[in-house]
Structure formats: structure tokens, C-alpha cells
A and B are shown apart, each in its own frame.
Chain A
Amino acid sequence: MTAYDDATIIAYLDGDLDETDCAEFERALETDAALPARVEAFAESGALLRAALAPATHGPMPALPAPDFAVSAAPTRPAWIPRAIAAAFAFVCLGSVFGYLVGQRVADRDDARVASRLEADSRIREATFQRAMEAEVSGTPVRWRNPDSGAEGLVKPVRTFRNKNDQFCRQYDRSESTGDRGETVSGIACRDDQGQWRVRAVYYAQ
């Protein structure tokens, strides 16, 4: 029987053994008495790592820099090509070339609209969050809604305290839904020197 080293155990957990090695490893799990415990110890550290970093994937995402679609969208389809085709075939198929051009422009505009709705969501979300944390007494829910996207949510400051650095901090509950998808989280935000509320910790509420 092969004595497995740590690297192989980890590669197994990471799904990186090929089919033969994997089958052999799983047979060894049945027969080698010590192996399951060794595998479990490694599996646990992977799950803990993911759990420890999970706060970064929840809660309001900070706004991103906005690309300039108008300028940079052009290179994917050089603008002169459809126009040149349109010019060359204007006398035979004016209608269909026009149809193609209009269709493309509508599709591009749809994508831009989705992107701008998502941007609007995060702008409204962040503005509501800042306003609620700055101005509302604890226990008061502040609601927001973006009629364009259907997204809505609420922020409720729960209590206020000062931290070690003498900043004001507030615990808050936040929930949000779009269509049938929703999430609820709790967190703590502290007020920085510029008067911005910065999220310090986020965890799932029950």
C-alpha cells in the first residue's frame, strides 16, 4: 500500500488528483486506518479558511470605477464596417442593413441599461446606508427601493458605541431582495474622520 504524503492528501481534497490516483486514494481511505483522520484534519482547515474570508463576499460591495463604454465599446466592431456595407449595398438591401444596425444598437443599449441599473442599486444602497448610520436613531429601519431594477432593502441601526480608537460605531441589520432572491446580514460600521461609515465586520443573521 502507498503511504500518502500530505501533498497528495491536499491534492485529493482540492480535486486535483487524476482519475486513477483518485480511485486508488479512495480505496486507501477504506483500508488505511489512519488516513481518514488525516484527510479530515486538512479538509477542516480549507472550510475554516473559506468561512473566515466569507465576510468579504457579503454586504454592500463598494462602488467600482466606471469604464467609459462610449469610447471603448467601438474596437470590438469597427464602426466603419457596417457603414461601408450599408453604403455599398444601399441600393439593393438598404432595409435589412438598417435593421441589422438598429438591432445591434438596441442590444448594446440593453446591456448598458442592466449595468446602469446595477450601478444605481449600489449607489442608492450606499447612500441609504450612510444616511441611516449618520442620522437615524437605533431601531429605526430606513428603506430604499430602485423601481428600475426592482431591488429593495432596508438598513436598521441597532445600537451605538465607541470603539478603542474613540470612533463612533454602530451595529446594524441590513436586508435586501431582488425578485425572489434575498439576504439578511448584520454588521458593524464605524465612522471615520471624514464622516464616512466604514463596514468593519459583517455576519449572517439567523
Chain B
Amino acid sequence: MTPDLWNALTALQPRLRRFALGLSGSLDEADDLVQAAYERAIGRIEQWQAGTRLDSWMYRILQSIHLNRIQSRRVRGSHLQPVDPDTLRAPDNERALVASMTLAKVRAFIDRLPEEQRAALLLVSVEGLSYREAADTLNLPIGTLTSRIARAHRLARLRGRDGAARRFRGDPS
């Protein structure tokens, strides 16, 4: 591990944390996953091939840790401790609260996606990887990846009709 490589790795932390939040559904679990991913990366840094994408490599490590965990215990949601919105009602942050509750619905939608659609959707729609890069990261044929993303998006659109999306858009934040 060189300081340069470590700087490049640490620069990925916010994005890895976002991916981990999408996968696990809670910030606590996300931080735990990110921590574990960095530990594994430090231990296996010689397995990373210079010239290949460092972010894809880290996404892959993180996702495989996540998969191992949900296989060994049903971890999803077990760390969720939602803040009770009733205790937050104050005039100055009501707007922020409305926005955050809408986003909580979107997060709930991500939570309900089948595991294999979730990772594909997050890598492409949130992390901005190309279909090719995401397929390589998840070790999938590109056709499989494309259809998973399409299915996840179709669900998002149908559930968005409940009004969550529209209300969010109406909020000028």
C-alpha cells in the first residue's frame, strides 16, 4: 500500500458509503460494511491490478461482504432505528422533514427490491457505472444486468405513482 493508493481509496469512502446504504438500508450497517471493505482491501491490496478501476474493485469487495452477511444472518433492517418523526416537529425544519420522509419512502422501495436487482440498480443509476462496468463488477453477463435494471426501474416507476415522487418534485428543495 502506497500513500497515493491509500489517498485514492479513501477518496472513495462517500460513494462506497452510499452504495452500502443502498444495499443494507441503514447508515450504521453501511458504516460497518465500509469499514470491513477497507479492512479487506488493505489486507488484499496486492490483488488489485494497477490500471483497472479501483472503485469497481471496492464495490465488488463491499457487495461480496454484504452477500456473505445476509447469507449467514438476516441482517437487513435489523439495525434500523428510525427516528420518530413526531419528536421532530418544529416549524423551522418541517419542510426538511417532509422531504426526508419522501426520501424515506424511496429508501423503503430500495429495501423491498430483490437483492440481485438492488446492486445492479445502485451501481448504474446511483454510482454512475456503465452497464459494462457494472456487469464486470457484479460478475454478470451484460444482458442479465440490463434486464435486472429494467425490472427494478419498472417497479420504481409503478410505486412512484403512489405520490411519493410527485410530492418530492413539488418540494423546491
Q: Which residues of A contact B (CB under 8 A)?
A: 5-7, 10-11, 14-16, 41-42, 44-46, 48-58, 61-62, 64-65, 67-69, 72-73, 75-76, 108, 111-112, 114-115, 118, 159, 161-165, 167, 169, 171, 186, 188, 190, 198-201, 203-204
Pair A112/B88 contact, Cβ less than 8 Å: no
Q: Which residue of B is nearest A44, CB measured?
A: B165
Pair A52/B103 contact, Cβ less than 8 Å: yes
Known: A49-B106, A51-B168, A115-B3. 5 other contacts (CB 8 A): A45-B125, A53-B122, A56-B17, A73-B1, A200-B27
Give chain B residues whose Cβ lies under 8 Å from the Cβ of A49.
22, 106, 110, 121-122, 125-126, 156
Pair A61/B17 contact, Cβ less than 8 Å: yes
Give chain A residues whose Cβ lies under 8 Å from the Cβ of B17.
56-57, 61
Complex-state Cα separation, A14 to B22, whole angstroms? 18
Partner of A76, one of B2, B99, B165: B2
Pair A161/B87 contact, Cβ less than 8 Å: yes
Nearest CB in chain A: distance from B164 CB, A? 8
Known: A62-B35, A64-B35. A69 touches B3 (CB 8 A): yes
Instruction: Sample 21 A-B pairs with CB under 8 A, ordered by A number.
Output: A10-B150, A14-B130, A44-B160, A44-B165, A45-B157, A45-B160, A49-B110, A49-B121, A49-B122, A50-B125, A53-B110, A53-B126, A56-B27, A57-B17, A62-B35, A65-B42, A114-B3, A114-B7, A199-B27, A201-B83, A203-B96
Q: Give the size of the chain B interface in residues (CB under 8 angstroms).
A: 62
Q: Which residue of B is nearest A54, CB measured?
A: B18
Known: A52-B107, A64-B13, A200-B81. A14 touches B124 (CB 8 A): yes
Q: Which chain B residues numbered 87 to 139 have a C-beta less than 8 Å away from chain A?
A: 87-88, 90, 93, 96, 99-100, 103-104, 106-107, 110, 121-122, 124-126, 130-131
Pair B10/A118 contact, Cβ less than 8 Å: yes
Nearest CB in chain B: distance from A174 CB, A? 14
**CB of B61 closer than 8 Å to a CB of A:** no
Pair B126/A190 contact, Cβ less than 8 Å: no
Pair A7/B87 contact, Cβ less than 8 Å: no
- A-contact 0/1 string along B136-173, CB 8 Å cutoff: 00000000001101100110110010001100110001
Pair B154/A203 contact, Cβ less than 8 Å: no
Give chain B residues whose Cβ lies under 8 Å from the Cβ of A73.
1-3
Nearest CB in chain A: distance from B75 CB, A? 17
Give chain A residues whose Cβ lies under 8 Å from the Cβ of B103.
48, 51-52
Pair A186/B156 contact, Cβ less than 8 Å: no
Give chain B residues whose Cβ lies under 8 Å from the Cβ of A114.
3, 7
Complex-state Cα separation, A118 to B28, whole angstroms? 22
**CB of B14 closer than 8 Å to a CB of A:** yes
Give chain A residues whose Cβ lies under 8 Å from the Cβ of B69.
none
Nearest CB in chain A: distance from B38 CB, A? 5
Complex-state Cα separation, A48 to B161, whole angstroms? 13
Q: Which residue of A is nearest B99, CB measured?
A: A203
Give chain A residues whose Cβ lies under 8 Å from the Cβ of B81.
163, 165, 167, 190, 200
Pair B87/A46 contact, Cβ less than 8 Å: no
Complex-state Cα separation, A41 to B166, whole angstroms? 10
Complex-state Cα separation, A159 to B91, whole angstroms? 13
Q: Which 4 A-B pairs have the closest CB atoms?
A: A111-B3, A45-B156, A52-B106, A57-B14
**CB of B34 closer than 8 Å to a CB of A:** yes
Complex-state Cα separation, A7 to B142, whole angstroms? 12
